[in-house]
Amino acid sequence: MTDRSRELFLKAQEVIPGGVNSPVRAGRAVGVDPIFIQRADGCYLWGADGKRYIDYVCSWGPMILGHRPPEVIQAINDALENGTSYGAPTEMELNLARMIVETVPSIEMVRMVNSGTEATMSAIRLARGFTGRDMIIKFDGCYHGHADSCLVNAGSGLATFGIPGSPGVPVDLARLTISLPFNNLEAVEATIKKFPDEVAAIIIEPIAGNMGVVLPDKGFLEGLRKITRENGILLIFDEVITGFRVSPGGAQELYSIMPDLTCLGKIIGGGLPVGAYGGRRDVMSRVAPDGNIYQAGTLSGNPLAVAAGLATLMILKNKEIYVRLEEKSRFLFSGLTDAAKRAGVDIVINRVGSMGSVFFGKNPVVDFGSVKHTDTSKYRSFYREMLAQRIYLAPSPFEALFVSLAHNEKIMKKTIDSAFNSFKKLGNMQ
């Protein structure tokens, strides 16, 4: 931590809980205080003391084009000339909605909100209202925002700090959320058999990104789709991270699975705060004012966020970009695998497209249980070594790393070389 960041962090702790506005940023899982960021460009961040870092957090995913892409900055500036917020409909939000509907396979109608948490919270309320049922099923280690219904065995910050839930969540509400092991269809079947006609929805990150990256086993998502259809349960895909990241149409396009509802965020705002939920027309038409299930938001469809999102998605319409992202990501993560092998350190890398995770250990990582059995102390040391070499990784073993269009081969070679040096030090410590 630099002197200027330390000074800012001490001041922040006087007025902000923990000195940060989102828990993982505090860096406690990796034993460091946070670096305060001054600016960003391309694949770089500059700290408050002016030191430059190669960024693989990418604002936790949305900066798929890199920081400050000219087209997005221009779109924001153009929108800013007309105002910052109207609380009224605009043509731009219509255009963004059309682009989402055209691109994401399962979405026939979409409603804009302000965050991923709002998107999942709204989708769950809609599922309960549509089905007339109260229970939801989620999966251990999957994080769907900080709404009360979702803070049961969640990932992300809760996993980072070892918090199983949160005080303030009513026990009666927590009882309506059942959390099951990821990739375990038998547990899902047994639960639905135990609670027939009570489960409104199954919500899942189709590719988990909040316990680190964990891939669905072959047949798992297909099995969920079959079970939900047979039992009148809505299937909700939380694609806040994977939407427009692993493919233009998200994980559902990648795996050819059609959920009933989809939650989006991150990339569709081009780096600005945004979220959305959408899906089947008959379900979405139950949302007010057409229907009787209420959801609202003054800043939903904010013109600056919509402008940034539109500019980003327009660029991503070129599918060649995803080919390039795949090539970059394969180069980086295969290079990390080779570097660990040369250094004599055991790692497991889970990757889909331009998102992946480095786990320390030998065994496959397939669910939250296996994630928790990886060597998080080694990740802690690895993080600190990489930071010292100006490589900025997620400050938690339970988060993903992201590759952007701005990362080039020279930068990734430097990252791999830095990783080899870090792995060597870890190997010497064994």
Q: Which residues are catalytic?
A: 143, 238, 266
Q: Which two tokens stand for residue 358?
A: 């480095």
Could you give the C-alpha distances from 311 to 112, 133, 269, 321, in angstroms and in order?
A: 16, 39, 9, 15
- Estimate to the nearest angstrom the gap between the alpha carbon of 75 and the chain centroid: 24
Please state, in angstroms and rounded to a whole number, the distance separating the CA atoms of residues 189 and 185: 6
DSSP secondary structure of 66-123: -BS-HHHHHHHHHHHTT-S--SS--HHHHHHHHHHHHHSTT-SEEEEESSHHHHHHHH
Are 306 and 112 contacting, i.e. CB atoms less than 8 angstroms apart?
yes
Are 272 and 247 contacting, i.e. CB atoms less than 8 angstroms apart?
no
Could you give the C-alpha distances from 22 to 17, 65, 86, 218, in angstroms and in order?
A: 9, 23, 28, 34
Please state, in angstroms and rounded to a whole number, the distance separating the CA atoms of residues 118 and 233: 21
Q: Taking the CB of residue 184, how many other CB atoms lie within 10 A of it?
A: 18
HSE toward the beta carbon, residue 379, CA cutoff 13 A: 29
Please state, in angstroms and rounded to a whole number, the distance separating the CA atoms of residues 206 and 193: 23
Q: Which two tokens stand for residue 357?
A: 């995770």
Determine the straight-line distance between the first and last CA of the chain, rounded to whole angstroms: 26
Taking each helix axis from N to C end, the angle separating 320-343 and 409-429, rounded to the nearest 10 degrees, works out to: 30
307: buried, middle or exposed (CB in 10 Å: 19+, 13-18, 0-12)? buried
CA diameter of the chain: 64
- Alpha-carbon Rg for the chain in angstroms: 21
